[in-house]
Structure 1
Amino acid sequence: MSKIIVNETSCDKGPLPYRTVLVLLLLASMLTVMAGAIITPVVEVMRGDLKIDGTAAGLILTMHGLVIAVSSPLAGWLIDRWGRRVPLAAGLVMYGLAGGAGVFAESYQALIASRIIFGLGAALVFTGTTVAMLALYRGTLRDRVMGWRTTATSIGGVIFPLIGGGLATLMSWHAAFGVYLIGLPIGIAVLAMMPASQEKAQKSTRQQGDAMLTLLRQPALTGIFFLVIVQAVMLYALAVFLPQRLAELGYQMPVVASLYMALMSGTSSVIGAYFGRLRQRWSYLALLRWTAVAWVGAFLLLGLSGDLWLLAVGSAITGISNALAFSTTSVMVADFVPEKVLGRAMAVFSTCMFLGQFLSPVLLGALIEQTSLTTGYLMLSGGATLILTVLLLMRQERKLTEKAL
């Protein structure tokens, strides 16, 4: 057995390396949020213009997420096989071209086809940006960078729906798809500026695949991926069903729900900005415990309260839990696996995240139809209580080990 050595040396005192590349990676990270957020305000307009039902219109918004969940393992294999730079650049170009195709799409079939190809590019973008950040930075600087990534994606969750809605109002719903074209210049810049991977694969694809399977059998890594799914379910439980909860209380204007979503994204961005400092103070296990505490409290408020201010507090706490969960689990995966299979490990991370996003409205929706929104939220709080109990019973995490590869 050999320990995975993680460099915990702080780089805070020296200059930040790869600054230009980091800016590009943060911009690319925002594109993963933009994938759905930019067209959220125009779904209803598209439904009427294309003469489709609500389910078909919803697929325009969610199809890319399902494609990401399915294709992420392939994206991870490509990154481990060819390095980070070329697959990420190719994914950004595919993202821009397929996403921008919506500007010219005049039929539902053409739009869905473009969203499938778009999802393939987005899978490379999500996995590639994550692997690049985790590989280029170490120690406390890595914690800070991953926190900044959470902040960037959270800010994107606030501004992109406004951009999409504004363009659709000024021109047409097709114009919102034009924003995806930003992936083209970012992809070209990544290809020109990102350093190539230093470590070359010295073992066969089969050997590396066996190593990845060995790691996936480790209970700690399995637990991390489970929490990724839970985080996605919790996030979309708010994004999908809070507008219905507000409507039950008599607040049906879309702008009200948008304010709550913005509040959630705002608190996520703040926590992301300070994640590096939080990581210096608390261990991974402690941060995960705080995440579970936030889940318990948030969904108790959302399930029991009919007061707008308390619902706002619940939304804000959900943003805190989302930032803690996403940043902590991302860095934990990077600390657990060797860099040679990091691409495939983060691909599993991506699959878990987008699978959770896809399943959340399906599973929770079925429960809510049989019971009520408040019951659904209270059951999520109960599930978070079980997770918190398990985390409290766990001992302080030790250095993770792996079999020699």
Structure 2
Amino acid sequence: MSNVRGRQEESSLDPDTAPAPRPAVLAVLLFCSTLTVMAGTLLVPVLGPMREDLAIDSTAAGLVLTAHGLSIAVAGPLAGRLMDRFGLRLPLACGLLLYAGAGGAGLVTTSFTALLVSRFLFGAGAAAVFTGTTVALLTLYRGAGRDRIVGWRSTAISLGGIAWPLFGGALGAVSWHSPFAVYLVGLPAGVAVLVLLPRRLPPSPVTTGASGGTAVMLRSPRLLRLYATSLTSSLLLYVLAVFVPQRLAELGVERPLLVALYTMTTSLSGSVAGLCYAKARARLGYPSLLRTAAAAWVLALLVAATVGQAAPLLAAPALFGAGMGIAVPALTVLIGENAPPDGRARATSLSGSAAFTGQFLSPLLFGPLAAATSIRTAFLVAAALAAIVLFGITQRRFGNE
């Protein structure tokens, strides 16, 4: 009964009269939002040393980078269901603690199997972090203010994609184990959520979706198209994350810090796009924004496939990051607006499941392809897939213009 009362209390505030959250709440939620991108990007600079020390091939090393995606895909709907039923605060804090404990286990693991198991556990915590932070921001902010906040969230995620790989690259000079220490930031973040996040949140506004459970969402053509776009964008992003370092090695660039700079380029362009998102949204409809993002992905992957020098290769992560900086906030809001009124957390968790499934599948699909042909061929195939996404967006409505 206490859990039911807690949920009723969260829904008791009038969404039009609820006070604006304290700046500290926004700061904590934006910081925690960066932890999901840190989940994989932190380790990119040490993939090479890790692969050599553990005696694994590039596909297995890619799984270390993306294994958490599978557990997020599995655990995400459960996290969403718990949050829809019991509220956000406690599940989010528990997720942050699991994030820290399982993520930090990489400091002491010495076998590939143990490391992979810890990454799967880590993903369960990351699922709660992704869902909780996204739903909290969508619930606490409305209208034009929400467009601004989701743009800031995209920028925060991108800036995290700059800072965390730099930490990883710097700590990677000590050993490939050292970057795992950064995951321990989940501990103070969890405490901050318990202290600062309001016990009661405004109810979700009326949405275009019908009330119902997960099965209803999976039968919604519009939500399915949004999930498919999210899955594919993440799959393509991790094609760059996994194979750009290997392409750089072919071009003679192998120092972890230099590799981190290429990863940083994706995030830097994404952060700029996120800051411009609110103004772009005021002028353009969601379909136009998504078409622009998909076109940037096509160009990015074509550049990665065709250039033969390290310097112009920078354009590939820059273009792709700009596309992600536009697509992530647009997809976030569209999924929230099309969710059933009583299932926003579940709808959001399914978007996380889609995105992180794409991350997990990326090395499994493109690793064997690159091994059988070449890294350039893998990039060309990825560019063709991005072109299919672009064509699909032009044919289907993803929101109101």
State the TM bucket, normalised to the shorter chain.
0.7 to 0.9
Residue 330 of structure 1 corresponds to: 332
Alpha-carbon distance in 1 for matches of 2:387, 2:85: 41
Could you list the per-position Cα deviations for residues 287-316 of structure 1 after superposition, in whole angstroms to 9, with x for gaps in the alignment? 011112112222222223324444222321
Say yes or no: does 1:241 pair with 2:259: no
- Aligned residue type for 1:25: L
Give the TM-score of the pair, scaled to structure 2: 0.84
**Contact 2:97–2:187 at 8 Å: present in 1 too?**
yes
Residue 301 of structure 1 corresponds to: 303
Alpha-carbon distance in 2 for matches of 1:349, 1:297: 25
**Contact 2:165–2:264 at 8 Å: present in 1 too?**
no
Deviation of residue 56 (structure 1)? Answer: 5.5
Task: Report 1:32-51 matches (<5 A).
Answer: 32-46=36-50, 51=54
**Contact 2:304–2:379 at 8 Å: present in 1 too?**
yes
Go from structure 1 to structure 2 and tell me whether the alpha carbon gap of 1:162 and 1:350 turns closer, same or farther (over 3 Å shift): same
Of 203, 218, 221, the match for 2:220: 218
**Contact 2:81–2:346 at 8 Å: present in 1 too?**
yes
- Aligned residue type for 2:348: M
Residue 98 of structure 2 corresponds to: 94
Of 386, 389, 398, the match for 2:388: 386
Task: Report 1:5-154 matches (<5 A).
Answer: 17-46=21-50, 51-54=54-57, 58-105=62-109, 110-154=114-158
Deviation of residue 25 (structure 1)? Answer: 0.6
5+ residue gaps, structure 2, are 1-14, 205-209
Could you list the per-position Cα deviations for residues 178-236 of structure 1 after superposition, in whole angstroms to 9, with x for gaps in the alignment? 322221121112112211344689xxxxx96x443223222111110010011101111
Say yes or no: does 1:176 pair with 2:172: no
Q: Among all aligned residue pairs of Structure 1 and Structure 2, give the percentage whose two residues are the same amino acid.
A: 44
Deviation of residue 363 (structure 1)? Answer: 1.3
- Aligned residue type for 1:186: A
Say yes or no: does 1:189 pair with 2:205: no
**Contact 2:285–2:400 at 8 Å: present in 1 too?**
no
Could you list the per-position Cα deviations for residues 57-92 of structure 1 after superposition, in whole angstroms to 9, with x for gaps in the alignment? 554433322211221111111111111111101111
SS of equivalent residue, structure 2 residue 199: coil
Go from structure 1 to structure 2 and tell me whether the alpha carbon gap of 1:338 and 1:245 turns closer, same or farther (over 3 Å shift): same
Go from structure 1 to structure 2 and tell me whether the alpha carbon gap of 1:135 and 1:64 turns closer, same or farther (over 3 Å shift): same
**Contact 1:10–1:140 at 8 Å: present in 2 too?**
no
Go from structure 1 to structure 2 and tell me whether the alpha carbon gap of 1:66 and 1:279 turns closer, same or farther (over 3 Å shift): same
- Aligned residue type for 1:281: R
Residue 360 of structure 2 corresponds to: 358
Alpha-carbon distance in 2 for matches of 1:181, 1:145: 26
- Aligned residue type for 1:81: R
What's the Cα RMSD here?
Answer: 3.0
- Aligned residue type for 2:95: G
The 10-residue stretch of structure 1 (314-323 or 34-43) with the greater mean CA deviation from structure 2: 34-43
The 10-residue stretch of structure 1 (136-145 or 91-100) with the greater mean CA deviation from structure 2: 91-100
Could you list the per-position Cα deviations for residues 88-145 of structure 1 after superposition, in whole angstroms to 9, with x for gaps in the alignment? 0111122123323444546655544433332211111111111111111111211111
Go from structure 1 to structure 2 and tell me whether the alpha carbon gap of 1:272 and 1:27 turns closer, same or farther (over 3 Å shift): same
Go from structure 1 to structure 2 and tell me whether the alpha carbon gap of 1:393 and 1:113 turns closer, same or farther (over 3 Å shift): closer
The 10-residue stretch of structure 1 (253-262 or 214-223) with the greater mean CA deviation from structure 2: 253-262
Could you list the per-position Cα deviations for residues 327-347 of structure 1 after superposition, in whole angstroms to 9, with x for gaps in the alignment? 211111011114420111111
The 10-residue stretch of structure 1 (364-373 or 345-354) with the greater mean CA deviation from structure 2: 364-373
Could you list the per-position Cα deviations for residues 3-23 of structure 1 after superposition, in whole angstroms to 9, with x for gaps in the alignment? xxxxxx999xxx963311110
Could you list the per-position Cα deviations for residues 247-281 of structure 1 after superposition, in whole angstroms to 9, with x for gaps in the alignment? 44454555543332221111011111221111111
Go from structure 1 to structure 2 and tell me whether the alpha carbon gap of 1:308 and 1:102 turns closer, same or farther (over 3 Å shift): closer
Deviation of residue 152 (structure 1)? Answer: 1.4
Alpha-carbon distance in 1 for matches of 2:112, 2:396: 50
Alpha-carbon distance in 2 for matches of 1:332, 1:34: 24
5+ residue gaps, structure 1, are 1-8, 202-206, 400-405
Go from structure 1 to structure 2 and tell me whether the alpha carbon gap of 1:107 and 1:313 turns closer, same or farther (over 3 Å shift): closer
Of 367, 370, 374, the match for 2:369: 367
Go from structure 1 to structure 2 and tell me whether the alpha carbon gap of 1:72 and 1:278 turns closer, same or farther (over 3 Å shift): same
The 10-residue stretch of structure 1 (390-399 or 220-229) with the greater mean CA deviation from structure 2: 390-399
The 10-residue stretch of structure 1 (273-282 or 246-255) with the greater mean CA deviation from structure 2: 246-255
Deviation of residue 169 (structure 1)? Answer: 3.5
Go from structure 1 to structure 2 and tell me whether the alpha carbon gap of 1:398 and 1:270 turns closer, same or farther (over 3 Å shift): closer
Moved >6 Å (runs of 4+): none
Say yes or no: does 1:159 pair with 2:168: no
- Aligned residue type for 1:330: T
- Aligned residue type for 1:320: A
The 10-residue stretch of structure 1 (279-288 or 179-188) with the greater mean CA deviation from structure 2: 179-188
Alpha-carbon distance in 2 for matches of 1:260, 1:169: 17
- Aligned residue type for 2:42: I
**How many residue pairs are counted as aligned between the two chains?**
380
Alpha-carbon distance in 2 for matches of 1:368, 1:108: 22
**Contact 1:10–1:139 at 8 Å: present in 2 too?**
no
- Aligned residue type for 2:73: A
Go from structure 1 to structure 2 and tell me whether the alpha carbon gap of 1:105 and 1:298 turns closer, same or farther (over 3 Å shift): closer
Alpha-carbon distance in 2 for matches of 1:36, 1:88: 20
Alpha-carbon distance in 1 for matches of 2:249, 2:111: 32
SS of equivalent residue, structure 1 residue 274: helix
